[in-house]
Amino acid sequence: MRTFLVLLILLGTVASGAETMPSPLPLAWCLERARAENPVIAADVAARDAARERIVPAGALDDPRFRYEASNIPTGNFDFESTPLSGHQLGLNQRLPFPGLLSKREAAATARSHAATFALGDRQLRVASATEAAWAELGFSQRALRITERNIDLLRQLVQIAEAKYRVGTGLQQDVLRAQVELTALLDEKLSREAAIEHASARLSVLLDLPVETRFPETEDLEDDSEIPGFSQLATSLEANSSQLLSLRASVEEARHQVRVAELEGYPDFDLGVGYRLREHVAGDPVRGDDFVGASVAVRMPVNRSKWNAVIAEKRAVLRHSEATYRGARAELYGSLRSAYAELTRADLESALLRTGLVPQAQQSLNSSRSGYEVGRVDFLSLLDSQVRSLNAELRFVRAEADRRRAFAALEAAAGETLR
């Protein structure tokens, strides 16, 4: 009895720690999980937070420095009261940069924070796109396996019919062999479908930060009837909506500020100091032991202009690099947007054509061939060909639906906005 109770407790612990996953598997659940748990997004969130925290230090003065000095102590007796020059020197120093330097450093840090925030938004869109693509691929692979298994059962029935007819002399041996060849091909196809499910599951597990051995339930319906937006509208609003371009634009702004920072750092800065010396009253002291106060100014002299000119030249090169990167990314995004739009349009048209045309036509042809075969008006090879065409039509339709999902997700990632 005790052993039984222990087993129940252990099973309850495992069940409570297991990942609860709805069945059938909805895309919304996967997207929410990816947004909350994807490690790449988590890394970008941390990078954004770190960039935000750099703003205040960038615009702040250096900490002041407190100084203590035991001043003018005779080495003969180390006595502070033996000479009026001895005393305890207390000081405070503050470094002041050239006017405008701190504000430029803060502006550069602010631009870097904006770039990190936009980069996070772009990452979230791209992870969502990859998640939907993996979910759709998993859904296709699951449905393709189910279609293949159903056709394997039908082909086995056809093989039995062909063999029975051949045994009684009303069928041909080539009918039996052809049916067996098609059945073997489908059995091999089933292995590929099962492997495809494993590949898609592994990809989705990585995106959702789940154990790689996670078994996913069958996905919800792949059909998506969302209206496709106009291409000209997407292209016009790309620069305003694309988080990737906004991030790169902020990086260009940061690089411009960094050029000015380098220029200002090449100017003098100042160290201001105040001091207070505590003294003892010593015979012969003309001021009778009064404490002393003092002030100091130190100026950094940037006389090595070649050094600072090199620093400025480096920052200007970084600026040119940022500008070129932005132009290249913009051109690449326009190309990706156009390609994704073309792929989405193709998948949409193909899905509609297969749904309303090829799939029902292939099914009608198969039904007609079966009826004709039963009464001897259609030969076995024609029936087999109808069965294969019906299988291919179903697979193409499911493939087109998955492709439409994938292409729509890619279009959203390229456009930099959610379109559904």
pLDDT at residue 2, rounded to an integer:
43
Query: For 1-30, what is the HEC assignment?
Result: CHHHHHHHHHHHHHHHHCCCCCCCECHHHH
Contacts of residue 276, defined as CB under 8 A and 6 or more positions apart, other chains included, come to 89, 90, 91, 291, 292, 293, 294
Alpha carbon distance 192, 199 (integer Å): 10
What is the SS3 assignment for 65?
A: strand
Q: Pick from 125, 119, 60: which is nearest to 95 by CA?
A: 60
| 10 in any annotated domain | no
Judge whether 75 lies within some domain. no
Please report which helix (H) or strand (E) contains residue 71, including its range.
strand 65-71
Whether residue 132 contacts residue 31, with contact meaning beta carbons closer than 8 Å, is answered with yes
Residue 297 falls inside a structural domain? no
* pLDDT for the residue 16: 34
Per the structure, how many domains does the chain have? 1
User: Considering only CA atoms, which of 358, 418, 408, 27 is closest in space to residue 220?
Assistant: 27
Residue 315 resides in a domain: yes
71 within some domain: no
- From first to last of the 420 residues of the chain, give the pLDDT tens digit: 444 333 333 333 333 333 578 999 999 999 999 999 999 999 999 999 999 999 999 999 999 999 999 888 887 787 877 787 788 899 999 999 999 999 999 999 999 999 999 999 999 999 999 999 999 999 999 999 999 998 888 778 777 776 776 666 666 667 667 777 878 888 888 999 999 999 999 999 999 999 988 999 999 999 998 999 999 999 999 988 899 999 999 999 999 999 999 999 999 999 999 999 888 777 777 777 788 899 999 999 999 999 999 999 999 999 999 999 999 999 999 999 999 999 999 999 998 888 888 787 887 777 777 777 666 676 667 777 787 788 888 888 999 999 999 999 999 999 998 898
What is the structure's pLDDT at 194? 95
**276 is a domain residue:** no
Best CA proximity match to 378, nearest among 177, 181, 175, 178: 175
Q: Are 37 and 205 in contact (CB under 8 A)?
A: no
Measure the N-to-C terminal CA separation of the chain; round to a whole number of Å. 56
Alpha helices in 38-172 (DSSP H): 39-53, 55-58, 101-167
Q: Give the number of C-alpha atoms closer than 13 A to the C-alpha of residue 192, restricted to the C-beta side.
A: 9
CATH number at residue 341: 1.20.1600.10
Residue 224 within a domain? yes
The predicted model scores a pTM of: 0.81
Residue 112 belongs to domain spanning: 28-61+97-267+302-415
At residue 262, the pLDDT reads: 96
Q: Is the peptide bond before 57 cis (omega within 30 degrees of 0)?
A: no
The DSSP annotation for 278-335 comes to E----TT-TTTT--EEEEEEEE-----HHHHHHHHHHHHHHHHHHHHHHHHHHHHHHH
Q: Are 83 and 74 in contact (CB under 8 A)?
A: yes
Secondary structure of residue 139 in the 3-state scheme? helix
Beta bridge partners of 94: 272
Structure tokens at 94: 């503050």
Place of tokens 């100042």: 270
What pLDDT, on a 0 to 100 scale, did the predictor assign at position 11?
A: 37
User: Looking at the domain assignment, is residue 84 inside a domain?
Assistant: no
State residue 311 phi and psi, 5-degree precision.
-65, -45
